[in-house]
Each structure stands twice: as structure tokens, then as C-alpha cells.
Copies of this chain bind each other. A is one copy, B any other.
């Protein structure tokens, strides 16, 4: 294991109007406090003249105690009108998983957590069916069923919200959850609900994309993970990928091939989020990879 993996680090995610001197100001802040920068990624969007930065530095030997860093940084942030967030690698994020009947993404997420591949807590799984209860149980994760009807959807989400808050959840992952969320949940976790959609958006939004892909006769199918917004399948895209298909593939084959893609694309998006690598602006993302 290299120095990089062992040590504790701090990450600053920054976005602000572009102007001269931002890099210099931020790096001087780290340098003057004796910090060692591990990663610095910076990007300017010239269509909007907007500046983005992810900077990660080691906390060992850093002059400021963790709890003082934000306060000391605030004047710099203010000067440049930054939106910013500060995260410490020692803080383990807490993630809720929403599912319906399809188990493949749930298995994949739980295995990554259980095997220690991801530094995350999964305090609960929520579903509109009891179908996957045994899966969660076999991993020792509490499973909560909230049956959904058009009539009760908002009230059920309010119950779910209570549960999520009690569990101090940072991130919600919709792992093939077959319900459209209402603003109750969407507005409570802005840019913190990740969905996996089984097409390369914006092609084939909505339901049954594999059937639509089959009918159109496409030669590739895709999957898209995105943050959930009020508009269905239209939130900021975090990650996409595709796989080739041919005339030989039935809808069932598309579903089979798509399953592996969904797992992979969702896992990558969640990993980027957990690593504090995603910045949202407008309806797009900057993913520092």
C-alpha cells in the first residue's frame, strides 16, 4: 500500500465564476499550512466561464486541526464566490439502497460493501415489495417494505424520509427501484440520489427501454447513472457505458447483457460519489476521475 492509500486526507470540491488567481489562492492556502497536495484537478467551462476544482491533501502534518479548516478557508471562498464542500477520508458515508424486484444491483452493492471494497455503511434497504428481503437479510442489513400506490406514495415517502434521517443517510441509491420518486424525497436529497436507468439516455427514457431498443434495432445498448431530479430520467448524468448487441439478441438477451452493464455503471457512479469526485452544475456533472 502506498502512502496515498494509508494516510488520512481532506478533499475540497470547489466551483465558482472563473477569474484569475483561484488556483494560486487555494494552493497557497494548503502550502502555507504545510499541507501536501495529493491530487489537484481543475477545470474551466468556457461556455459559462465557470471554474471547478477538486483538491486533495494529506492531513498528517497539516497545520490546521480538521475542525478549523473550514473556518480558515471561508474568506478565500468568499472572495471568489465559491460553492464548496469539504470532506475527510476518515468520515464513512452512509448509503440507503432502494430496490423493487430485481436483485442484481442489490447483490452487487452489498457485496462491494461487505467485502470491504467500498468504505461505506449501508444501514438499510427500502423496497416497495418484500421480494428481496432474503437478500438483504443474508448480508445482515435491515430491510423495510413500503408498499406504494398512487394514493399513498407521498405519505409513504414521508415515512421513508423519517427513517432515512434517523439512519443519518448521506446518499440514496435507486438500484432498479421501479417507482418514480415524488418531490418529498427528491427535494430532501438534492444531488444525493443516484439512479440507474437501463438505456443510454437520452435515448429510451421511461419504461421498457430494452423493448424499445429491440424494436428500433440498435446495435448497442447502454446504461446511465444520474442524479435524480424532479424530471424523470433527466437529471445530471454521472456515468454511462454501452455493450454491443446484434440481430441475434432477443429482448431477453438485451435484459441479460444489460444487467451486467447496469451493475457496472451504477457501481462506478456510486464510487465516484463516495470518493467526493462529482460536482454538479447546471444539469451536468464534472467527474474528477
A binding-site residues for B, Cβ under 8 Å: 1-5, 20-21, 23-24, 27-28, 30-31, 34-47, 52, 103-104, 107-108, 111, 114-115, 117, 138-139, 200-204, 216-220, 222, 236-242, 246-248, 250-252, 256, 259-260, 264, 267, 282-287, 289
The answer, among B3, B35, B43, B200, for a CB contact under 8 Å with A248, is B43
A-B contact pairs, 21 of them (CB 8 A): A2-B251, A4-B250, A5-B252, A20-B35, A20-B37, A21-B27, A23-B40, A40-B42, A43-B247, A52-B247, A103-B111, A104-B111, A107-B114, A108-B108, A202-B204, A202-B218, A216-B237, A217-B236, A217-B237, A217-B282, A219-B287
Query: A72 CB to closest chain B CB, in angstroms?
Result: 16
Copies in the complex: 4
By a CB distance below 8 angstroms, the chain B residues around A104 are 111, 115, 117
- The SS class assigned to the A binding surface is mixed
* CB atoms of A44 and B39 under 8 A apart: yes
Give complex CA distance A179, B114 in Å: 25
The answer, among B28, B41, B117, B241, for a CB contact under 8 Å with A24, is B28
Q: A40-B40, A104-B115 are in contact. Are A217 and B46 (CB under 8 A)?
A: no
